[in-house]
A and B are shown apart, each in its own frame.
Chain A
Amino acid sequence: MKATNRTPKKGFHLTLRARENLYGYAFVMIWIVGFVIFTLVPLVQTFQFSLNKVTVTATGIEMVPVQWANYSRALFTDPTFVSLLIEYAIETLVSVPIVIIFSMIIALFLNLKFKLKGFFRTIFFLPVVITSGPVIQELVAQGTTSVPGIADSTGITVVLAQLPSYLRGPVEYLLTSFILILWFSGVQILIYLSSLQKIDQSIYEAAAIDGASAWESFWKITLPSLSTTTLINAIYTIITLSHFSENKVIKYIYNQTYAVQGGFGYAGAMSYLFFLVLLLLLGITALVLSPRSGKKR
């Protein structure tokens, strides 16, 4: 209605288009100001820190340019950082499919018609409400997040010892934190559930008349309809896992921030490297799961 009005009044009045622009900016202005102050400037400053040796003095901070020394130190000298970063990337790539598959299965269950549906929905969403770093730390420390009765059995220990080291890490992670990984599925279950409910039921009826089994319907109708949702859920999962304060890389960066050997510059460099890996993981996920990439199903 507004923008299609092609007879702008000249002179005293603003054109409708200009008026709309103006009011739009008025509503969004607070965000733009906040973005510059609290995100953009700190982002640039962190990058600046990462190119300097930063020392905190009584009057402020002192910076000595060191070019890319902080980055090369993180990548080539620091024995912990790179291994933590690789561990983080592998653990994330292992966790995402588990979260996706688990939340899809639970959503499919909860989409059926049965009594107590609301009750189970409440149970499977519960962890979202209580998942905080210190709480998870305590629960992991008491060994409650492992698969009950499996992780500590002798058989598993023997099998684990046989595995090559690059496999042992992820498998051990899976066994000791399995429930923890599942706990990151709460929001994803809800998102799957709501897009399941949006699928037109008549498609299933038509398929059933053509003789498709429930199994075939799932692969041919349900899964393709959920492909966008899966991408969203995967991205959400990666971001939540990466931002979680119990993330080992984050913890390491935090500890280095105030360490004598580290400091703001080194922490800044590591933050940027971590961010880069996160973007890489998101990119891989988007490539693999993008509905347009013509996955064969």
Chain B
Amino acid sequence: MLKNIDINKIKRFLFGSRSSYGAIFTIVLYLLLIALGFVYLYPLLFMFVTSLKSPTDLLNPMVQWIPTEVYTGNYVKAWRVLSYPNTLVNSILVSVIPSLIQAAVCSVIGYGLARYRFKGKGLIFALIMATFIIPAQNTAIPQMLTFKRLGLLGNVFAIILPALFGQGYRSAIFILIFYQTFMSLPKVLEEAARLDGASDLKVFLLVGLPAAVPAFIVSIIFSTVWYWNESYLTLMFLEGGVQTLPMQLAKFTQAYENLYPSGMVNIFDRLNEAVKLAGTFLNILPLLVMYFVLQKWFVESVEMTGITGE
């Protein structure tokens, strides 16, 4: 009898019961997730480790994952090649300013679509979705010519202006986020405010906006990240003017040759993959910091904005 109970207990421990998955399943689950997670992050781990390798470690086939010393020379070089403080500030400006404007404008548009019934709303919705599908190349050249005529090429305003009119990078997603948020706002609140004599604008500012704080945070951080990483439009509109980090990374080799001409420096100072990967890491470092500080807002964004609730 006693033995029987023990076996059942062990069985339950290993194979699970109604209330738990059991040890075997849990271990398998963790092993799978760790393996997948490792494969998933392999490029990043490889990048980080390699960026810390000295030229001798790079050539040494025995050194795989653990460098013999923590060598910061690559970062010193990459910092100079990227002209880091300068391009970093540019990248922040080019991504944060348009994303703030984009969020503000999209909130207005999303509110209008969610709270009012008007003719042609379906058409506008369809066109908003179309802007998400239309590739940037199909509109970029005439836009570029317009900015050139206005003298805005190489200027942050070339990125800001479309955002100001709700045509920023991936604006359709943000309009949709605000639409969902304002759709789920109870009408009762609006009617109460109206009875108190509030105008439409006031209802939007005093009832709508406070309810949309999560939508604003999610929109701003995603928009910032996407603007930061966007490199086609920045190349089209900003080349020759404001240099962002990804733009500078794209011509890393050339910039390195200018700073350290290959004929002039000794063999250890030639461009190698460690320096390149140090540059790449410097490029994503601000985003990584932002991600780990705001991770809750990133990974719970879908629930917070209810964007899938169609």
**Beta-carbon contacts of B174-191 to A below 8 Å, as 1s and 0s?**
010000000000010001
B70 within 8 A of A: no
* Cβ-defined partner of A130 (8 Å) among B37, B40, B287, B301: B287
Q: Which residue of A lies closest to B133 (CB)?
A: A239
Q: Which of B108, B284, B308 is the most central at the interface, judged by chain A CB atoms within 10 Å of its CB?
A: B308
Distance to closest chain A CB from B110 (angstroms):
9
CA distance A264 to B138 in the complex (A): 11
Q: Is the CB of A271 within 8 A of B137?
A: yes
Interface residues of A in 215-234 (CB under 8 A from B): 228-229, 232
Closest 7 CB pairs of A and B: A34-B165, A27-B112, A24-B116, A24-B118, A132-B229, A42-B139, A42-B142
* Cβ-defined partner of A242 (8 Å) among B21, B108, B135, B273: B135
Interface residues of B in 97-113 (CB under 8 A from A): 105, 108-109, 111-113
Q: Is the CB of A126 within 8 A of B134?
A: no
Chain B residues, Cβ within 8 Å of A22: 118
A254 within 8 A of B: yes
CA distance A278 to B228 in the complex (A): 25
**Beta-carbon contacts of A167-208 to B below 8 Å, as 1s and 0s?**
000000000000100110001001101110100000000000
Q: Is the CB of A130 within 8 A of B162?
A: no
CA distance A175 to B30 in the complex (A): 25
Q: Is the CB of A271 within 8 A of B41?
A: no
* Cβ-defined partner of A49 (8 Å) among B30, B50, B141: B141
A58 within 8 A of B: no
B310 within 8 A of A: yes
Chain B residues, Cβ within 8 Å of A68: none
Given A38-B162, A190-B302, A191-B302: A23 touches B200 (CB 8 Å cut-off): yes
Q: Which residues of B contact A (CB under 8 A)?
A: 21, 26, 29-30, 32-33, 36-37, 39-44, 46-47, 50, 105, 108-109, 111-113, 115-119, 121, 124, 127-128, 131-143, 145-146, 161-162, 164-167, 175, 187, 191, 200, 204, 225, 228-232, 235-236, 246-247, 249-250, 252, 273, 276-277, 279-280, 283-284, 287-288, 290-292, 295, 298-299, 301-303, 307-308, 310
Q: Is the CB of B225 within 8 A of A144?
A: no
Chain A residues, Cβ within 8 Å of B121: 24
Distance to closest chain B CB from A109 (angstroms):
6
Q: Is the CB of B118 within 8 A of A20?
A: yes
CA distance A71 to B204 in the complex (A): 49
A26 within 8 A of B: yes
A64 within 8 A of B: no
Beyond A129-B225, A278-B133, 7 additional pairs, beta carbon < 8 A: A39-B131, A41-B142, A42-B141, A112-B29, A145-B43, A228-B310, A257-B141
Chain A residues, Cβ within 8 Å of B236: 254
Q: Which residue of B lies closest to A61 (CB)?
A: B145
* Cβ-defined partner of A39 (8 Å) among B26, B46, B139: B139
Q: Is the CB of A139 within 8 A of B165?
A: no
Chain A residues, Cβ within 8 Å of B145: 61
Interface secondary structure of A, over-half rule: helix
Interface window among A7-15, A76-84, A113-121, A158-166: A113-121
Chain B residues, Cβ within 8 Å of A118: 299
CA distance A166 to B301 in the complex (A): 41
Distance to closest chain A CB from B226 (angstroms):
9
Q: Is the CB of A23 within 8 A of B137?
A: no
Q: Is the CB of A30 within 8 A of B139?
A: no
Chain A residues, Cβ within 8 Å of B231: 132-134, 245
CA distance A279 to B133 in the complex (A): 8
CA distance A49 to B144 in the complex (A): 14
Chain A residues, Cβ within 8 Å of B42: 144, 148, 179
CA distance A239 to B162 in the complex (A): 20
CA distance A190 to B280 in the complex (A): 27
CA distance A121 to B247 in the complex (A): 30
Q: Is the CB of A114 within 8 A of B191?
A: no
**Beta-carbon contacts of A30-67 to B below 8 Å, as 1s and 0s?**
11111101110111011001000000000001000000
Given A30-B105, A254-B232: A135 touches B284 (CB 8 Å cut-off): yes
Chain B residues, Cβ within 8 Å of A1: 187, 191
Q: List 26 A-B contacts (CB under 8 A).
A: A20-B117, A24-B117, A24-B118, A28-B112, A30-B166, A31-B124, A35-B127, A38-B162, A109-B29, A112-B21, A112-B29, A120-B33, A126-B41, A132-B231, A132-B283, A133-B232, A135-B284, A137-B250, A142-B46, A142-B50, A179-B40, A191-B308, A194-B308, A239-B132, A245-B232, A272-B138
Chain B residues, Cβ within 8 Å of A190: 299, 301-302
